[in-house]
Chain A
Amino acid sequence: MLRAEHLAFAYGKDAQVYDFSFEAEAGSVTAISGASGSGKSTLFDLIAGFLTPKSGTLMLDGTNLLPLPPETRPLSLLLQSDNLFDHLSARENVGLGLPKGTSKAEGRRRVEEVLARVGLEGIADQTAATLSGGQKQRVALARTLLRHRAILLLDEPFSALDDETRQTIRALVGELTRSEGWHTILVSHHEDDIAALAARRYRLAEGRLTPA
């Protein structure tokens, strides 16, 4: 269980004070929705470690995540765009998720394996710049599989996709969440995405999360 209790943050002395509390179970998607400017990105950055809360806790199965910097937190990110480095191939982008010390042969095998798992056989050597939006999100998900992190943070990951691709990628996220046991947190204001994926939902308003 991923549990946040009274994660408090404010951007300045007289700014809005955020106070976040939520729970997310393994193997399911927890959605956080809210209007633009309600603090979704702030919550995202707090969970990821890009912002430091003034107080509160963020526990994963009893382990406090707050002292950990972003690179060592057990999470992967999937953003709306810029999830890949366009000048690298799909293989090289996915390979960035391999643990240090992995041999070349083993790395190659594992990259091919995860690309096949997300339905992208045969495109490993294509440059990321030549991939479609949907393919790019799949490559990013493949990299996430390699990293074996417990939490998947999604920040409007389907916004730039057309309807058909959106449904496909959504289904893939749902399937991988269940099979890999991820604590997936979906930050989005798209009702369709939330309705299709979320087992639990919170609404963000006036700096607070309310179960919906």
Chain B
Amino acid sequence: MIPLLAEVRVDSFKRLPKSNRSYPPRARLRLWIPLFLVWLLLLPLVLLLLPVMAVAALALRINPWRALTAFWGLFTGITGTNVELNDNKAAVRIRIF
């Protein structure tokens, strides 16, 4: 399934240099990105570029259909990816639904 929604959360903590304690986040960024709208906007551009990419693939002796299915697999495979990074200075979370 194509990725439809992305959550990006970044919390930046204030931290005293001599202390390992972290304080409540001083900067918070929370974004819910509707990826399905982004794909809708990019769709005309992709359709325009498809013939160009097909010609380029043939010039490089690559099967255009195999290339397309490989990229499609990469595109749909991103769904379900979670990345979380936490330390004293910041907490970052990226989730793709």
Q: Do A and B come from one complex?
A: no
Which B residues contact A (CB, under 8 angstroms)?
none
Which A residues contact B (CB, under 8 angstroms)?
none
